[in-house]
């Protein structure tokens, strides 16, 4: 069926850059775009009046936790002003032995999270491995029925965050659990890769840099090459991680990943805010951004999540000028990619780095 979408504000591409066409037209047939421009004289089977609307390609939401971050509309002041930028560690870590959070229901939480992402303009999502392994197959079916393209697999790690009796963050290690988690992710990808009309693809999601052993990260890298898939790792997401790695290994988290041979074009670094050059890190002895750029790794930036903590990337242009491919994700609710673009352009101007 050939469909004409006309009358809206069309985001087109002229071969060099994007341009906005007022009252433009888009024609597509099945899964192919036939025309982008002004007017169309050929025959069509269906017409859609898009007057007053934006007509653009579907967004790729490169960092989303569908469903599990629904309550995160606002953080309170103690969380926002936490010196270490602890993010979810301020409220997500538990006392050892505390009851675990009940497993999410993908038919409710997953459906709501993915619906919110689609409503916010995303047609492709990278759900960053935050769900229990047993839930991911059911989430896959939810995504398949909704018609979304998604990169999935169950997440895994070698440790979980816990609190000591003084409320301090600690790491509870279980290395065999991390190894078993990687095996589950491999099995999932082998079973589901290309399912639902090739809209479901695999991606490896080791949890966080500081909750994975070096052996697990290196095994992840080998597995990605074996399966031909990408990797996304939460990296330099708070100062807790930055100081822990620097104290224990005498290198920054980015240097640590470089030394492991982990970085590369198939790798996305989730957040990557607290690099050596960030004003809170204040470690002037290495250029972490040059290392990331040289490796070809990308960064998934979620500006709204950090703005809620009173933090910002320092700065968007700084990463771009270093040669880093910056992608956007929502991380938390609302899953609105247009708002993320707007905030990405504005928040870094308040960072105090002297550049935008």
| pLDDT for residue 181 | 96
- Whole-Å CA distances, 339 to 124, 158, 204, 304, 328: 17, 35, 27, 8, 11
Could you write out the DSSP letters of every residue in 41-71? -S--SEEEE-TTSEE-PPEEEEEE-TTTTTT
Would you say residue 67 has pLDDT above 70? Answer: no
pTM of the model as a whole:
0.89
Class at the top of the CATH hierarchy for domain 2-55: mainly beta
Share of the chain above pLDDT 70, in %: 87
Mean confidence (pLDDT) of the chain: 88
pLDDT value of residue 233: 98
Q: Which residue has the higher pLDDT, 89 or 41?
A: 41
Residues of the chain with CATH 2.30.40.10: 2-55
Residue 34, SS3 per DSSP: strand
Residue 320's H or E segment, with its range, is helix 316-322
What number is the average pLDDT over the span 295-300?
98
Phi, psi values for residue 287, rounded to 5°: -100, 90
Q: Please, which pLDDT band fits residue 83 given cuts at 50, 70 and 90? A: low
Helical (H) or strand (E) element with 24? strand 18-29
Which residue did the predictor score with more confidence, 223 or 352? 223
What pLDDT, on the 0 to 100 scale, is given for residue 286? Answer: 97
Q: What pLDDT sits at residue 308?
A: 79
**What tokens does 302 get?**
């979620």
- pLDDT tier for residue 70 given thresholds of 50, 70 and 90: low
Confidence of residue 307 (pLDDT cuts 50, 70, 90): confident
Assigned token pair, 311: 């933090």
Mapping DSSP to helix (H, G, I), strand (E, B) and coil, where does residue 11 land? strand
Look at residue 347 in the predicted model and tell me its pLDDT. 84
Q: Which CATH code of 3.30.300.30, 3.20.20.140, 3.10.20.340, 3.40.1010.20 fits the domain covering 59-350?
A: 3.20.20.140
Q: Tell me the C-alpha distance between 258 and 275, whole Å.
A: 13
Torsion 313-318-322-325 (CA) sign? positive
Supply the pLDDT for residue 309.
78
Are 267 and 230 a contacting pair, CB within 8 Å?
A: yes
Q: Which tokens hold the place of 226?
A: 């074996």
- For the segment 78-106, the average pLDDT, to the nearest whole number, is 60
Query: Per-residue pLDDT tens for 132-188?
Result: 777 888 889 989 998 999 999 999 999 998 887 777 788 999 999 999 999 999 999
**SS3 for 350?**
helix
Strands 149-152 and 122-127: parallel
Does the pLDDT of residue 76 top 80, yes or no? no
Over residues 89-117, the mean pLDDT reads 69
Highest mean pLDDT among 82-96, 203-217, 328-342: 203-217
If you search the block for the tokens 């909704």, which residue do you land on? 146
pLDDT at site 356: 38
Task: Return residue ranges of the chain for CATH 3.20.20.140.
Answer: 59-350
Q: Contact at 8 Å (CB) between 209 and 185?
A: no
């Amino acid at each position: 069926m050939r469909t004409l979408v006309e009358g809206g504000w069309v985001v087109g591409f002229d071969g060099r850059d994007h341009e906005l066409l007022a009252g433009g037209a888009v024609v597509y047939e099945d899964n192919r775009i036939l025309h982008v421009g002004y007017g169309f004289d050929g025959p069509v089977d269906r017409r859609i009046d898009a007057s007053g609307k934006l007509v653009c390609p579907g967004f790729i939401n490169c960092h989303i936790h569908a469903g599990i971050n629904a309550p995160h509309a606002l953080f309170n002041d103690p969380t926002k002003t936490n010196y270490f930028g602890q993010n979810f560690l301020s409220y997500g870590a538990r006392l050892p032995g505390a009851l675990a959070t009940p497993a999410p229901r993908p038919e409710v939480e997953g459906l709501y999270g993915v619906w919110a992402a689609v409503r916010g303009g995303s047609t492709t999502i990278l759900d960053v491995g935050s769900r229990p392994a047993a839930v991911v197959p059911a989430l896959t079916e939810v995504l398949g029925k909704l018609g979304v393209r998604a990169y999935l697999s169950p997440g895994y790690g070698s440790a979980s965050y816990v609190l000591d009796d003084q409320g301090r963050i600690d790491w509870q290690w279980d290395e065999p659990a991390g190894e078993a988690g990687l095996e589950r992710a491999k099995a999932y990808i082998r079973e589901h890769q290309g399912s639902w009309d090739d809209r479901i693809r695999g991606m490896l999601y080791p949890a966080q840099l500081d909750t994975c052993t070096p052996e697990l990260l290196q095994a992840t890298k080998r597995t990605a090459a074996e399966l031909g898939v990408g990797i996304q790792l939460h990296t330099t997401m708070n100062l807790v991680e930055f100081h822990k790695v620097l104290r224990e290994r005498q290198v920054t988290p980015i240097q640590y990943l470089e030394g492991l041979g982990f970085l590369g074009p198939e790798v996305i670094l989730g957040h990557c805010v607290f690099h050596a050059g960030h004003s809170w890190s204040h470690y002037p002895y290495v250029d972490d951004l040059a290392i990331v750029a040289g490796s070809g790794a990308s960064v998934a930036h979620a500006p709204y999540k950090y703005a809620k903590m009173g933090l910002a990337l320092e700065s968007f242009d700084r990463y771009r000028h270093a040669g880093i491919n910056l992608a956007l994700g929502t991380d938390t609710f609302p899953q609105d990619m247009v708002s993320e673009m707007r905030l990405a352009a504005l928040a870094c101007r308040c960072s105090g780095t002297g550049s935008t």
